Amino acid sequence: MNELFAFWQYDFMRTAFFAVLLIMPLFSILGTMVVNNGMSFFSDALGHSALTGVGIGVLLGLSDFQWPMILFALLFALLMNRIRHSAMSSTDTVIGVFSSCGVALGLVLLSGSGSFQNYQGLLIGDILSIGEADLLPLGIALVAVVVLWGLCFNKFLAVSISPTLAKVHGVAVWLYDRLFVAAIAIVVMLAIRWVGLLIINAMLILPAAAARNVARSMKSYHGLSLVFGVFSGVLGLLLSFYNDVATGPMIVLVAAAVFFGTLLIGRKK
């Protein structure tokens, strides 16, 4: 038993543990609506835009690139969402174009300034490097998302099921659609330094996708998504520590195992 809790004696592991308890519920809550709306590739494209946000920050000579990432992601997400809802092109084509441009522009900006090698860690992230001061923004984001869900969930759900019907019933579809997209953009940018743009989308959608396999109501859907998210995060963190492997990918592998397990259970039922 003492060996199981050996990780607790290390400051960086305790901080990472608390970070997991903030990040995974954030992803689990937002992920339910991302899965409902079929927006998994949308959130993936958002992650790719982080490179451009960093590149802009480098060009401006900023030491902290968090705000350029968030601001660019908001503009990127709102524009992509606007075009996604238009009849200009198919959704997957629009998202694919934006995703590619987000990566390409970021690489051009960073390589042109000779800084790309300094930010390669963004690709895979490192949750073990998170500091105590970084927990505060994540905690504020979690509280904000919980409040947002409490106030606006029914509206979000109505818009996701049928925007036309929601509009008939007086729901400001354009407002709630953009509000949800903005929430995703902010949360993704807050967490991407610790999670990595290559796997952040998987961490966002897998707990919710697993919950959807076995949930029988919207309440159980959210509850199971939270349970699966926190379970995957904590178990992945512990497995990475005791096996000396990357934490983020291990969390994703645990979440994927939960998904396939619930998929089999759901099919049997």
Q: Does domain 13-196 have CATH number 1.10.3470.10?
A: yes
Q: Is the pLDDT of residue 263 over 60?
A: yes
What are 61's two structure tokens? 């000579």
pLDDT of residue 268: 65
pLDDT in tens, 62-72: 777 888 889 99
Which three-class secondary structure state does DSSP give residue 89? coil
- For residue 34, give every residue at least 6 positions away whose Cβ sits within 8 Å of its Cβ, in sequence order, or none: 40, 42, 43, 184, 204, 205, 208
What is this structure's pTM? 0.88
pLDDT in tens, 143-162: 999 999 999 999 998 888 88
Which three-class secondary structure state does DSSP give residue 88? coil
Alpha-carbon gap, residue 223 to 246, rounded angstroms:
28
Say which amino acid occupies 161.
Answer: I
pLDDT in tens, 197-240: 888 888 999 999 999 999 988 899 999 999 999 999 999 999 99
Kindly list the domain boundaries of the chain, sorted by start residue: 13-196
